[in-house]
Amino acid sequence: MKPVPYPTIQRFPLYLEVIKQLQLAGIKTISATDIAQNLGFTNIQVRKDIGYTGIIGKPKIGYNIKELEKVITSFLGWQNTNDAILVGVGALGSALLGYKGFEDYGLNIISGFDVNKKIVGKKIHGKKILHIDDFESQVKLLKVSIGILTVNQSSAQQITDLMVKAGIKGIWNFSSENLKVPDDIVVQRENLSASLALLSVKLSHKFKTKQ
Amino acid sequence: MKPVPYPTIQRFPLYLEVIKQLQLAGIKTISATDIAQNLGFTNIQVRKDIGYTGIIGKPKIGYNIKELEKVITSFLGWQNTNDAILVGVGALGSALLGYKGFEDYGLNIISGFDVNKKIVGKKIHGKKILHIDDFESQVKLLKVSIGILTVNQSSAQQITDLMVKAGIKGIWNFSSENLKVPDDIVVQRENLSASLALLSVKLSHKFKTKQ
DNA sequence: CTTTAATCGATAAATATATATCGTTATAAA
DNA sequence: TTTATAACGATATATATTTATCGATTAAAG
């Protein structure tokens, strides 16, 4: 089987959103062209992406919208909820604890961990905040495999080592540290600065050329 | 002049971080290999990226670290602070208002806007929260060109239209709405789900193949 | 002073991704 | 029933990006 390109995987959640929106409107079938127009892509690209899921569409009609939602969701592994824990309950960590959108992504943040005595023991957005000393035992107890890292750069590697030791398999890294992990651990870096960089450069380019 | 690839632009902030770290350690010159090892890239890629800035390095030595920081910062347009305003002071919006890291990216969020009477008039993380009714006048008064959109999907397009009307030129879109804007407006979509999708797929792939 | 090795910059090759083309199929209109 | 058209899937082409190669240069070691 040919590997699915990363850009394709990254577009899938966008397709899911369009699908959900149109489903709410009562639509039963959806074509690559429909999705493309909604997102500003080409229909060829959307059709090719969808092709990776193996779903069969009908000419002149498109795809069964329910079935398409199912195959994409399943491809992403979002059909069942995956439990996650979060370490570093600062401004960003708190925000993520309260972010409702993760439900759509099959992600359930069980609890947050920190060392700050002011918040340990309390609840934030309904999620209990525990002390980092209890991290390893909790992760092992609950068999959590995804860790969300929202600590500052200076403690990022240390917490990462702890996550690995506790059995975490995938780390969503919101810090700017380049984490060192064993081969069998997946790290996904969330890079706000990268997207701000693109915005900045596109903006300055527009100003240079247009004015 | 050949256009700089988007992936290159997105890597520049990472290079800046390594540069700043090594500068703190008193390092005066830095090679593409140094940066590459620090980030897990190939030195060839780093060297090529750096080449786009026009800086000249010395064989066996590398680049003057101060000069390299300067050219990358300047390329990104981060040498001067750019003012921004934020609309939608919910969980995520509050977090961004309090995020210190933006200073490094030349971004200064002046204030937040919302309709929630509980927070309008108050300060969050030291930033004043104003009512959306005052948005247009404030933006015009302060000549802000960057807007950060952290409202929910249902009001995203409406707020976008308001931003455009007020003179905002670049929109950093944290909502999941596909925004419609005039040609001369730049929209950068921040897509948390895209990166979570990658993490999910990489994880499930590891589990499939390794176990 | 000569040799060695690290690194640069430029060019070339390889890979990955996006776009285009084309024959086929299914619906709806004529 | 026939014709026109939207959209599919497969294949081919084009573009973008990454990786490799190579000669030149510079500092440091011998």
Main-chain phi, psi angles of A84, to 5 degrees: -140, 155
Q: Return d(Cα B86, Cα A142) in angstroms, integer.
A: 38
Entry field: residues in chain A: 211
Please report how the helices B65-76 and B6-24 are oriented relative to each other, as an axis angle in degrees rounded to 10. Answer: 140
Quote the tokens at residue B163: 């931003």
Chain A residues closer than 8 Å to B106 by CB: 200
pLDDT per residue of chain B (211 residues) written in tens, 0 to 9: 789 999 999 999 999 999 999 999 999 999 999 999 999 999 999 999 999 999 999 999 999 999 999 999 999 999 999 999 999 999 899 999 998 889 889 999 999 999 999 999 999 999 999 999 999 999 999 999 999 999 999 999 999 999 999 999 999 999 989 899 999 999 999 989 999 999 999 999 877 654 4
Q: Is the pLDDT of residue A211 over 60?
A: no
Contact A178 B39 (CB under 8 A): yes
**Residue of B9, B170, B199 with shortest CB distance to A197:** B9
Amino acid in the structure at residue B168: I
The domains located in chain A, with CATH, are 6-76 (1.10.10.10), 82-193 (3.40.50.720)
pLDDT digits 0-9 by tens, A52-80: 999 999 999 999 999 999 999 999 999 99
At residue A45, the pLDDT reads 98
Q: DSSP E strands: which ranges in A66-185?
A: 82-87, 107-114, 123-124, 127-131, 146-149, 170-173
- pLDDT range class, residue A37, cuts 50, 70, 90: very high
Residue among A89, A90, A157 nearest A128 (CA): A89
What are the two backbone dihedrals, phi and then psi, of residue A46, each rounded to the nearest 5 degrees? -60, -40
Chain A: residue whose CA lies nearest to B83: A200
Q: How far is B84 from chain A (nearest CA, A)?
A: 12
The dihedral through the CA atoms of A16, A36, B93, B69 has a sign that is positive
pLDDT classification of A208: cutoffs 50, 70, 90: low
* Residue B106 zone, left/alpha/beta (φ > 0; ψ -120 to 50; rest): left
Residue B199 burial by Cβ neighbours in a 10 Å radius (0-12, 13-18, 19+): buried
Q: pLDDT tens across A94-135, in order?
A: 999 998 889 889 999 999 999 999 999 999 999 999 999 999
